[in-house]
Amino acid sequence: MLSKRIDPTAGRKAAKIEAQNAVAATISEANRLAVEHKTVNDLFCEWLRDGVSRQDGNAELRRSFRKDVLPLIGDRRLRELTEQDLLGVLRTIKSRGLNRAVVIRSNDMGQMLRWGEKRKPWRALMADGNPADLVDAGQLLDHDYEEERNRILSPDEIRELREVFDRLERDYASLASGAKYSGIRPVNVRVQCAVWICLSTLCRIGELLKTEWRNVDLNKGIWFIPAEATKGRKGKRQDHHVFLSSFATAQFNRLKLDTGHTEFCFPGRNGQNHADTKTISKLIGDRQCRFKDRSKPPAGRHHDNSLVLGKGTKGEWTPHDLRRTGATTMQMLGVNLEIIDRCQNHVLGGSKVRRHYLHHDYQQEKSHAWKLLGERIEAIIATNSPETQ
């Protein structure tokens, strides 16, 4: 090295730098290849951890993606993901007759991909565009499918529902012990109470199923729903006080005879937590099987049409339709629309100045509205239907 007029110390330093550069180049290439090979599942895991926070702790996202999405495209490299891959997922869901699930899953996949599109390293992997932007889930839906439901129960259907509950109990009680196994069981008292409470308070079914008995004061007739149990984006939820009518109080008292020994109004099977928020909806849907596209009855679940109302001419009804029915009934009774919104615990808009200075809680107005609704429901179900008169 000296003969070549190279400083040996500098030569060793240069050799070391060259070796380090070679190592860095190797690591950089390995990292590049690792990024190039990132999959939909990798994006999903990071999105779930850092990009989305839903009220149930993302439990439903995990369940639905593991069932419908990841088995089909989870191992697909993100840079190779196409519109057809996403449509394949949606078509598989649609083959089970689940229009609503198609819409929800399309929205969820689109949300995940749009989140990745704005961030490294995912953005570079979608250099040719976001495939979700090319998907139109509406083309896969049935022509008569309506995304926005407007189903309400008429007074005759409300009356019929009460009569169905009573008739099923009478018919089942009259069966001989040997015939009870094959007979149609009556609707569980918890389901009945949930139906009447949803109708008479305008609550969401999820809010009701999460309720703890410590938040229900039957002596004062007040049901407190904490903000964390309500629906809405984080930071936009608010506590809600429901002033119970005598009708709603009677339903809670009836429910307390069944579950009052537990912490929750609707305890789960282990008694350590509340029932799944979809439980009541499933139980009601199982008794309207004519509207379900099922090749066989679900194992261990009801499969009959005992809760089909009005001969099915208006289609299936759900617990959320009860909330809409109660609100519409209040409107028909002349209740101010803003009071109805407050009874439904809608987060109302308005200027910041107004929200800062105006703090009336509308307790009397809401209490009167719920009282009117309870009295109306009592009057409806106390009257015999034309068929039974």
pLDDT band (50, 70, 90) for residue 145: low
Domain residue spans in the chain? 40-140, 155-382
Q: What is the pLDDT of residue 355?
A: 58
Give the least confident one: 15-19, 54-58, 230-234, 364-368: 230-234
Give the least confident one: 103-112, 130-139, 186-195: 130-139
Mean of pLDDT values over 115-126: 88
pLDDT digits (tens, 9 = 90+) for 263-305: 999 999 887 899 998 899 999 999 998 887 666 777 778 888 9
pLDDT digits (tens, 9 = 90+) for 323-356: 999 999 999 999 999 999 999 998 766 556 555 5
CB neighbour class for 236 (10 Å; exposed up to 12, middle 13-18, buried from 19): exposed
The edge-to-edge listing of strands for the beta sheet with 222-225 is 216-217, 222-225, 240-243
**Other CB atoms within 10 A of residue 298 CB:** 12
Task: Determine the 3-state secondary structure of 274 from DSSP.
Answer: strand
pLDDT band (50, 70, 90) for residue 131: very high
Tokens 């938040």 belong to residue: 215
Whether 388 has a pLDDT exceeding 70, the answer reads no
Give the residue from 112, 106, 107, 111 showing the smallest Cα distance to 46.
Answer: 112
Mean of pLDDT values over 313-330: 94
Q: CA-CA distance, 347 to 128, in Å (whole number)?
A: 40
- The DSSP bridge pattern shows strands 216-217 and 222-225 to be antiparallel
Q: CA-CA distance, 244 to 202, in Å (whole number)?
A: 11
**Range 40-140 classified under CATH 2.40.128:** no
Higher pLDDT, 372 or 145: 372
Tokens in use for 339?
Answer: 């009071």
Tokens in use for 376?
Answer: 């109306």
Task: Determine the 3-state secondary structure of 77 from DSSP.
Answer: strand
Q: What is the pLDDT of residue 30?
A: 63
**Range 155-382 classified under CATH 3.30.750.24:** no
Q: CA-CA distance, 117 to 123, in Å (whole number)?
A: 4
Q: For the chain, what is the mean pLDDT?
A: 87
Task: Determine the 3-state secondary structure of 154 from DSSP.
Answer: coil
Whether 135 has a pLDDT exceeding 60, the answer reads yes
Give the residue from 152, 346, 377 showing the smallest Cα distance to 247.
Answer: 377
pLDDT band (50, 70, 90) for residue 32: low
Task: Determine the 3-state secondary structure of 62 from DSSP.
Answer: helix
Mean of pLDDT values over 104-122: 92
CA separation (Å) from 32 to 21, 27, 111, 144, 374? 16, 8, 25, 48, 65
Whether 385 has a pLDDT exceeding 60, the answer reads no
Mean of pLDDT values over 135-156: 81
Q: What is the pLDDT of residue 389?
A: 42
b vs e for 55-90, b when ≥16 Cβ sit within 10 Å of the residue's Cβ? beeeeebeebbeebbbeebbeeebbebeeebbbebb
Tokens in use for 49?
Answer: 């951890």
pLDDT band (50, 70, 90) for residue 168: very high
Whether 218 has a pLDDT exceeding 60, the answer reads yes
Count how many Cα atoms sit within 13 Å of the Cα of residue 254 in the half-sphere of its side chain: 16
Per-position DSSP letters for 217-251, written without gaps between them: ETTTTEEEE-GGGS-S-TTS---EEEE--HHHHHH
Higher pLDDT, 156 or 30: 156
